[in-house]
Structure 1
């Protein structure tokens, strides 16, 4: 059990934590792009052979998807490393920079400048998330995590799992918006970060207090580690599925907005990191979050329009070549 009278060893090197978070965002953007390419390659091959689903075993034989998955894992490790040096509310939202990296990479791959609507969506998302982070950083307070708070996070995760399962299997056969899977991936990714931070804090407290005792608090910490594994697996699953029905920019945009939003909400409501904050700060949270969401919607629509335009152009070129050969 955490000793509420002892200060936790957190935020000892915040600048290094921020640097790790930025590197994590860049690695995530590259990994996301490679994973998307791998999924698209396998999906195209499956469609050509008459299959309706993307075979997972085929993904395991696709080098670019494997490389992207490896980078995804490296990004998670870098993210956890950043949490060891700086508070969750500071470094987690920095992942939104992955959206910028992803958009630039995609533009270079397509060899086309970013459309104005895409730039607008990115700008609004960035403004919203940055405002969210600034407000949170000003009013947040890092406090020791009690067993009750850790239990509350685990119960919340269990509730989200139940709701996600009910929606996923209870509405089988019903078409869902592609962004739905992106949101689920972001939600579970937010839980991974939050649970990861709690484990780091618990371990730091244990070493700081020289308490190497296996008690009920240790059991909760182990359950927390198990929760990280479950949330990680589900986040990876929904992210991979998202690639089959969303452009890479939309996937990374959803993750970089939903993920930090979930982490910050958990930090405020359960960990009480904004205890005593003025009411106006919560109004700022809502407005900034709304701006980030609007930016993602604009980006999603712009990217879908770009994909449709490219598909139409490809079809027209194919028809023209067929006519010329005839």
Structure 2
């Protein structure tokens, strides 16, 4: 091998095949955006036909009616494709590289929602979107050249499951006590947090299956993944009922990857080889992106306050 090429390879922790995960994640982001737009349309139509549920949560009858809405079903199928591409990207690359790339969906959704509903985004909303996407892509740009993919130990897996159990308990109690006062931003953030764990557990399960290590701990991961997915999906539908689709996507494409990234850094050690300056960039860019979500929730012309 050429000496210069060898030195370059040593500077890039990712194996060249792991870069395959990046285009797969970008394709998934496109399906995520389209799926969100169609699902939002279905939820709005169902809500218009029934009693107002703002802050109360969609009831069982409304959830059943969603299955009869072609737009909602089509959106669900597209989200299913988004998940397939996301899982494929996670198979090839570390979480902190590919998971944040879903931020592309925020740009696509914002443009689609503006055109479809004839709603002009104000300058503050545009600034918030730029903060979300800019922060995420800065994060990924650094992570792509500093992250390492490591096998997950049983101890790390138990830590993830325990933290998820606490999050699920907090979400359930908060929803039960304050459901009549809850607005879109709560649903968005909680769904993002839960899906961050879903992405992490999905990568873990894929890795353990590949290693032929399918035992009780892996099965527990699968059950936890399904539970978090179901609750996260319910929160997403309620977010659609009380806020615009680009706010929902902002939460899912910023909060979700930031949670997954924190798990990847703190628990899985994916940034263990990153220099100090890279960790500073991670913290600053992550804070910018998350703050952008709150600004979008506050300033979006379609947000119900």
* Pair 1:22-2:29 in alignment: no
TM-score (norm 2): 0.86
Query: Displacement, 1:74?
Result: 1.5
TM-score, length of structure 1 as denominator length: 0.81
Answering whether residue 44 of structure 2 is matched by residue 40 of structure 1, we say yes
Q: Any unmatched runs of 5+ in structure 2?
A: 1-13
For the 8 Å contact 2:35–2:78, the answer to whether it is kept is yes
Paired residue for 1:268?
Answer: 265
Which runs of structure 2 are paired with 1:208-219 in the superposition (5 Å)? 218-219=215-216
Deviation at 1:276, TM superposition (A): 5.1
Q: For residue 11 of structure 1, report the CA deviation from its aligned partner.
A: 5.4
> Is the contact made by 1:99 and 1:256 (CA closer than 8 Å) also made in structure 2?
yes
Asked if 1:167 corresponds to 2:167, the answer is no
User: Comparing 64-73 with 113-122, which one deviates more in the overlay?
Assistant: 113-122
**In structure 2, what is the Cα distance between the partners aligned to 1:24 and 1:193?**
13
Q: 1:320: which partner in 2? A: none
SS of 1:144's partner is coil
Aligned pair count reads 285
Cα deviation per residue 1:213-257 (whole Å; 9 max; x = unaligned)?
Answer: x7xx62211111111111111111111111111111100011100
Change (3 A) 1:221 1:290: same
Among 182, 186, 199, the alignment partner of 2:205 is: 199
Higher gyration radius (CA): 1
1:11–1:85 Cα contact (<8 Å) kept: no
| Post-superposition offset of 1:114 | 4.1
Please provide the CA RMSD for this pair.
Answer: 2.2
Larger mean CA deviation between 244-253 and 155-164 belongs to: 155-164
For each residue in 1:128-181, what CA deviation from the matched residue of structure 2 results, as whole angstroms up to 9, or x when unmatched?
1122223333432222211111111111111111111221223354x1242011
For the residue of structure 2 that corresponds to 1:181, the secondary structure is helix
Aligned pairs for 1:41-190 within 5 A: 41-47=45-51, 55-111=62-118, 114-173=121-180, 175-190=181-196
Pick one of 210, 228, 231 that aligns with 1:231: 228
- C-alpha separation in 2, matches of 1:86 and 1:285: 18
Q: For 1:142, what is the secondary structure of its paired residue?
A: coil
